[in-house]
A and B are shown apart, each in its own frame.
Chain A
Amino acid sequence: MVTTPATSGLSLGLSAIRHGYTLGRDFTAVIGGVTLNIAAGEFVALLGPSGCGKSTLLRLIAGLEAPHEGEILADGLPVAGPHPDRILMFQDPTLYPWRTVRQNVSLSQDISGKKDAAAVDDIISLVGLSGFERAWPHQLSGGMAQRAALARALINHPKLLLLDEPLGKLDALTRLTMQTELHRLWKERGFTAVMVTHDVEEALFLATRIVTLSARPARIVSDIQVDLPFHRHRDDPQVLQLRRDILTRLGHRDDW
């Protein structure tokens, strides 16, 4: 086992990314020119109206699709396809129902062929799933399933974690716990994180930087550095001020 795991994240450079989909005969532009540089170790939250192309952006960074225009650099190298350094975590846990929790968590080891049982044990206990290694996914609650998905994503110490509303479907209280967890893991492991969310509070609670996007095709509307120290409390006046500021930028000034 490696004694000092790679705890540093990778840096990302997106230059003039444009992307779209052809549905039938119509071409829909989804991303309309996004340029964004993210330093190693940042936690960036992407906020924007529904369907604005945030998830597409994550898929492009993950390398699951190639952008129509523009270039994505990870640590200075162009992204040519998926890579275990860049792990994408979805809104649904997408655990494989035919694998136990343990087998799901060790998925990437099966793919790479490098077995490391101790690493599996470590990550399972890190996300609080000890004792449930042999459970089937359908036996887990939503929060447990998402923890297993988190363990599966983090087991090989990825340098970049792409989170596509990973807490979107959890109940409010489980969500709070998971936000704390996510923050702790990010602190401990030092990976770079890019998280898509609809929840301004979640972004304020976790992110070092909040990027807001326009409606489709997505462009960057604002890029706010959140310099508040962790742990940020939800009723902190500065947090509340930022929250109002961001909601205004998202076009929700008159909503509360």
Chain B
Amino acid sequence: MSGTDISLTDRIGTRHPDAGITRRHPAILPWLPGPVWLADALVTWRWPDADDFPDTTLLAILFAVTGIALLTAAATGVLTKRAPWATALGSGFGAWEIAQAKLLSLPRPFFGTPQDLLDVFITDWHRLGDSLLHSLGLLAAGYTVGSLAGIATGIGLGRSKRFRYWVHPVLRAIGPLPPVALLPLTFVLIPSSWLAGEALMALASGFPAAILTWSGIAAVDPAYYDVARTMGARERFLTLRVALPAAMPQIFVGLFMGLGASFAMLIIAEMLGVKAGLGFYMQWAQGWAAYPNMYAALIVMSLMCTGLITLLFRLRDRILVWQKDGLKW
């Protein structure tokens, strides 16, 4: 064949619209964050604290090490795009250090100093780590079970009339109910608070997964089925190899929503019933007025949540490579 479709070659060769853009940074910008962090170190070290705070020297050393690392990064050309952020972060830490540790301008104990926070990580990392692992375990089990069950339910709703007849009303009755509302009931019905938390998280993640899987399957072009059917495909192939991949973009929206709902459910369950995990740690810290511990737990929690969302997006990018969209997390 002569290959007359000229347009194809340049379509194949098309790169992402952003790919070719290289913004030229002023050459001085990468050199900015290093000195800022070194200045933080100097201020922390030389300017006397307003009160007896722990770990001031260690904090100064950390600032200094960061500053030197940033200077090295600037020298080797690694630090380019992130220089403005590194500068902003350094300035922020410096401002916090001066405002709170040196001038004590905000009321304690609600507002801590950078060294308070550092002290929590140094003295209490073990319990924080344990809490993180516990939360992750609880989340992983509940979310995985809930999502898989949700996808399976969505497939059933999308492909089987009889399944839809029986399950749809149940889903309409239970699904929109905030899982939190079931918390008291669950803790009564299910003797293990861990299992109760799992059940609620599964519910929280399962509902959006089910609805969006169903919606994705309902939107599949019927011609896709006809193509496979003329080649002799049976129901199993049509469901697993046609409907499911076609619905995958929608399914990931459901998984994303479900993950957010599971985070909420996880923290609530840990604050109210499960006697472990980051939610419980925060509850405990608040009870003891250990505010720096609460901030530390918040930071760990934020890292956990954003880390898991990142993982989900990585998975999505892998599975949906065929999609045109350029959304990046």
Contacts and interface: CB of A to CB of B under 8 A. Distances in A.
Contacts of B129: none
Interface string B1-28: 1111101100110100000000000000
B11 A141 contact: yes
Nearest to A83: B232
A64 B223 contact: no
A141 B226 contact: no
B227 interface: yes
Contacts of B232: 82-84, 108, 111-112
Contacts of A84: 230-232
A94 to B, nearest CB: 5
B135 to A, nearest CB: 34
Contacts of B8: 132, 139-141, 144
B230 A96 contact: no
Contacts of A92: 223
Contacts of B85: none
B233 A143 contact: no
Interface in A183-236: none
A1 interface: no
Contact of B4 (A98, A152, A156, A173): A173
Q: Choose among A96, A98, A156 the residue with the greatest number of B CB atoms under 10 Å from its CB.
A: A98
B4 A177 contact: yes
Interface stretch (B48-56, B140-148, B180-188, B240-248): B240-248
B315 to A, nearest CB: 15
Contacts of B108: none
Interface string B220-255: 010110111111110001000110011010000000
Nearest to A127: B1
A167 to B, nearest CB: 14
Nearest to A128: B1
Contacts of A138: 322, 324
Contacts of A82: 229-232
A177 B6 CA distance: 13
A124 to B, nearest CB: 11
Interface in B240-296: 241-242, 245-246, 248
Contacts of A97: 246, 322-323
A87 B232 CA distance: 10
Nearest to B244: A98
Given A144-B5, A173-B4, A177-B2, A94 B227 contact: yes
Contact of B11 (A99, A140, A147): A140
A86 B7 CA distance: 32
A9 B2 CA distance: 27
Interface in A109-165: 110-112, 126-128, 132, 135-141, 143-144, 147, 152, 156
A98 B230 contact: no
Contacts of B233: 111
A86 B226 CA distance: 12
Interface in A37-58: none
B227 A128 contact: no
Interface in B50-102: none
Nearest to B241: A110
A152 B241 CA distance: 16
Given A110-B241, A177-B2, A88 B230 contact: yes
Given A94-B221, A141-B7, A107 B231 contact: yes
Contacts of A107: 227-228, 231
Q: Choose among B228, B229, B231 the residue with the greatest number of A CB atoms under 10 Å from its CB.
A: B231
A23 B324 CA distance: 37
A98 B226 contact: no
B237 A128 contact: no
B218 to A, nearest CB: 17
B230 A174 contact: no
B230 A94 contact: no
B32 to A, nearest CB: 42
Contacts of B229: 64, 82
Q: Choose among A111, A138, A181 the residue with the greatest number of B CB atoms under 10 Å from its CB.
A: A111
Nearest to A177: B4
A139 B9 CA distance: 9
A62 B228 CA distance: 12
A35 B268 CA distance: 70
Contacts of A108: 231-232
Given A86-B230, A147-B1, A152-B227, 18 more contacts: A62-B230, A64-B226, A82-B229, A88-B230, A90-B226, A94-B221, A94-B226, A96-B224, A108-B231, A111-B237, A128-B3, A132-B8, A132-B12, A135-B12, A140-B11, A144-B5, A177-B4, A181-B1
19 contacts: A64-B229, A82-B232, A84-B230, A87-B231, A90-B227, A92-B223, A94-B223, A94-B224, A96-B227, A107-B228, A110-B241, A111-B233, A112-B231, A132-B8, A136-B322, A137-B322, A139-B8, A144-B5, A177-B1
3 A-B pairs with the lowest CB-CB distances in the bound complex, closest first: A128-B1, A108-B231, A98-B245
